[in-house]
Amino acid sequence: MAEIEYPVLIEPLSADDGGGFVATVPDLPGCMSDGETAQEALVNVQDAIAAWIEAAESMGRPVPRPSQRMSAAE
């Protein structure tokens, strides 16, 4: 699978939410995954991105292009 270049936002989850990290893809509404570590969440969200794109294409919906708006400060 080719590397996917969508910006990903990784945030820690509270202990009440089970701990670990959640990775969301702002360009793809509802696209997210989680993991015990930030790196695991990032790896897992790559599969979620591929599944999101595949589902959108199979339904004939447009797939947004990756934005360039995320930065390390955001």
pLDDT in tens, 40-59: 999 999 999 999 999 999 99
Would you say how long the chain is, in residues? 74
Q: pTM, whole model, 2 decimals?
A: 0.82
- Output 32-41 pairs: Cβ under 8 A, ≥24 positions apart: 38/10, 41/10
The DSSP line for 32-50 is EEEESSHHHHHHHHHHHHH
Spell out the domain ranges in the chain: 9-58
Gap between the Cα atoms of 40 and 2, Å rounded:
18
pLDDT band at 19 (very low <50, low <70, confident <90, very high): very high
**3-state helix vs strand vs coil in the chain, percent to 5:** 30, 15, 50
